[in-house]
Structure 1
């Protein structure tokens, strides 16, 4: 069981391939035995020239975005309001986006190199950036590469170019983005869902169940728990789970935590959760390969 308090996590320092001076913290990351790689990080988006921008693009991995404060943009006229949550499917296009004056959490996850975080991938990140620069250039969040034969310029999202380059370096195979099963991101208005009783002192909202991978346990589930102060619940062993609480008062194994506490409970482990009255916890049940 990994537990982190957001205010205690250092700021990420790395070369950026997209515009903006976003302040990022990597909160949780991991690799599972069945090949799932994930990362949960917090982004503080700046205003003006420091705003984050990216072109319309897609990824091979799944994403979940939750807004802590402000409005987190993901396309023209498309924003995630505070405390709402959105699911971004594999292969589905979104953007162009401009994120500013907001704070949010982002969970990214994928199997077998679809998503790339941790020492294995971070160790070749800078080399991959330099390799890309040798063949092209980064410009306003886009990677532009010139075909040596025709002279034609090819453009793609800068982050996607980096994923493709690292994957090729690591596997000697081309990176493939799957055809989308879902046409576009799904925005869930959390307050529109009603709580119902799960057990004594615990209520639950089932927010979404997404089948972006094949298999009996390959779905991803999103829910929210609310505690009354009397009673608790156990995170079961069957699924790896990532969660967070915005308010102070979440208790894990009897220990009380401050605001913006996040946790990861791996498959095969259990965790006892409870909380002060009104504490709400978002729970992401991770997919499992078959």
Structure 2
């Protein structure tokens, strides 16, 4: 089990292959080169941030902590909103309405396409910058270099790392699912404990819920899940927690939260990918692909 606190994590610059200003606090990573690899961060964008309409071969959960993000035809996420962004489904273009802060979990989904680690993304970006440049979320190949003229930035990085053309999985959902938890009712699930089940997705049963603990209440959560304390104070696994404390519980671990103040927690359950294997990397790919 891992426990981290927001004010112990420095802000770093990221998403240079997109457009505008983005900083992040990095909380947790999964295991690289596995179908279930993941990354959990809190990101902060400025008003100049933008990303073109695109899609991924991995999944995303988003929880809007502060400010608002605009996804054009897919809708707008204001503070308190939750979103599930399925693999294969296009979304955006995306822009930040001033300064915005979002908790984002990105993870390998039901297709078994996996998820690139931050180090792999950085290495792919560095390699591509030898033959082109990233502008507004798009990789543009230099005129004197053979191959496709322009590609979505992440797709270009993925193809460079895997040495093959990215084949997007067929989307199980046509569009992102955006949820307003304030329209849900709290359902009692224990003494002093209430739940809002925000959704269970795909045949691999990835899920999201909110938990509320009254002062003095205790609650034990499931393994293979990410927890973010939205507000409150208390102890988890014997260690103090506070607002924006994050917890990662692996398979077989069950963190127990004991609230000294009223507490709300976002719980993000990773998918069960039993039997799924990550495809092997190719040895070479034609630049024209």
Correspondence 1:71-110 to 2 at 5 A: 71-76=68-73, 78-99=75-96, 100-110=98-108
Other structure's SS at 2:54 match = coil
For structure 2, the residue ranges without an aligned partner over 5 or more in a row are: 275-289
User: Is 2:165 aligned against 1:165?
Assistant: no
- 2:171 aligns with 180
Give the corresponding residue for 1:27: 27
The answer for the alignment partner of 1:245 in structure 2 is: 229
Residue pair 2:87, 2:169 contacting (<8 A) in 1 also: yes
Q: Which moved more, 1:278-287 or 1:139-148?
A: 139-148
> 1:182–1:76: structure 2 CA closer, same or farther, 3 Å change rule?
closer
Alignment size in residue pairs: 271
1:95/1:14 CA distance change after superposition, 3 Å: closer
| Equivalent residue, structure 1, for 2:45 | 45
Whole-Å Cα distance in 2 between the matches of residues 18 and 207 of structure 1?
A: 29
Runs of 4+ in 1 over 6 A off after TM superposition: 146-149
Instruction: Give the equivalent residue in structure 2 for 1:64.
Output: 61
Q: Give distance in 1, aligned partners of 2:147 and 2:113.
A: 29
1:227-280 C-alpha deviation (Å, 9 max, x unpaired):
1123312123xx401011121314202433221111101011121113234311
CA root-mean-square deviation: 2.5
Q: Which runs of 5+ in 1 are unaligned?
A: none
The answer as to whether partners of 1:146 and 1:152 remain within 8 angstroms in 2 is no
Matches within 5 A, 1:206-217: 206-211=197-202, 214=203
CA contact (8 A) 1:37 1:113 kept: no
CA drift at 1:77: 7.1
Instruction: Identify if the C-alpha distance between structure 1 residues 74 and 200 changes in structure 2 by more than 3 Å, giving closer, same or farther.
Output: same
* Structure-1-length-normalised TM-score: 0.85
For residues 164-195 of structure 1, give each alpha carbon's deviation from its aligned partner in whole angstroms, at most 9, with x where no partner exists.
22232xxxx44332010100100010111111
Q: Whole-Å Cα distance in 2 between the matches of residues 268 and 138 of structure 1?
A: 42
TM-score when scaled to structure 2?
A: 0.85
